[in-house]
Amino acid sequence: MNVLPSLSEHYTDPKTYPPGVAFLDGQYLPISEAKISVLDYGLLHSDATYDVVHVWNGAFFRLENHLDRFFAGLEKLHMSIEYDRGQVIEILHNCVALSGLKNSYVEFICTRGMSPTFSRDPRHAVNQFIAFAIPFGSVANPEQMKHGLNAAISSLVRIPPKSVDPTVKNYHWLDLVKGLYEAYDRGADTAILIDENGNVSEGPGFNIFAVINGRVLTPRFGVLLGITRQTVFDICTNLEIDCSAVDIPQDQLLGADEIFISSTAGGIMPVTKVNGQSIGSGTPGQITNQITMSYWELHKEENKRMVVRYLDDK
């Protein structure tokens, strides 16, 4: 017979949480104290939408674009929150300011919430808004940023857009998580899923790009329209590099000169090995490095920045 743990074993030391601040139920809390109900359909049904923006050197990057996508997602999912756009901006600013973090990963969420009668009808649920700021994190660690990620093309098909609209950021990640474990079993760092036609799709939290004969290509079908993905298009326009959204067969990806991924969590990150074979020279490529440098330079442009008002600012 299993022995039940004592009450003391249930206690979680707040120090095991990353530093950060959350906004929940109209109040700001240490991240360790932010909790949702076990009856929230965001938990029970993965019925939620969210967005992630980062703060770099004390300023949000492209926050307005992330807000556009978030509010569009609310409308598509028949959700609503009690805060308007200006109030959401204020809440996000406050989370970061209270955390004191100069480089931060900031997430804002709307869950379906719960019905007072636990009704199965989603129209009866009271939607819930949550936000939090924690230290900046990246898909790739410093070593992988320097030498490149080792990826594996998964046998798993990404949830098709006929089932779940990929332009609405969501928590339907079981296919991505299964793909990750498949990649780990093959000695890789991360996974690249395919679409229903067998072409390259996206990975856990990132879009993918291939550099082929000087052109930058990215999957067009069934992928999240990432804000960092759009930033790559903008950079390529400035650098006069052809960048297109197209179907990318798996063998075309494997034959690419360079591969990189894009995400709010990390920016532009090189991939130097796929399915056990080196891509190009086996090191981060020239175009990848050029786009990476341009990406971080964009963080200095005033029209892309929204400066955080920290508590110690005069």
Q: What is the pLDDT of residues 76-114, one digit of tens each?
A: 999 999 999 999 999 999 999 999 999 999 999 999 999
Which of 298, 250, 294, 310 lies closest to 274, judged by CA?
250
d(CA 277, CA 266) in angstroms, rounded, equals 24
Give residue 314's pLDDT band: very low, low, confident or very high (50, 70, 90): low
Burial call 168-201: b when 16+ CB within 10 Å, e when fewer: bbbeeeebbeebbebbeeeebbbbbbbbeeebbb
pLDDT at site 6: 42
- Higher pLDDT pick, 8 / 216: 216
CATH architecture entry for 17-135: 2-Layer Sandwich (3.30)
The third-level CATH classification (topology) of the domain covering 142-298 is D-amino Acid Aminotransferase; Chain A, domain 2 (3.20.10)
- Average pLDDT of the chain to the nearest whole number: 94
Predicted confidence at residue 251, as pLDDT, reads 97
Average pLDDT over residues 183-210: 98
Per-residue pLDDT tens digits for 141-176? 999 999 999 999 999 999 999 999 999 999 999 999
Given a cut of 80, is residue 3 above it in pLDDT?
A: no
The pLDDT tens digits of the residues spanning 266-287 come to: 999 999 999 999 999 999 999 9
Closest CA to 179 of 198, 203, 161: 203
Q: Give the integer Cα–Cα distance in Å for 245 and 45.
A: 32
pLDDT at 42 over 60: yes
pLDDT above 70 (res 7): no
Rounded CA separation 48/189 (Å): 28
Beta carbons of 200 and 261 less than 8 angstroms apart: no
Spell out the domain ranges in the chain. 17-135, 142-298
The pLDDT, as a whole number, for residue 265 is 97
pTM of the model: 0.92
Amino acid 164: pLDDT: 95
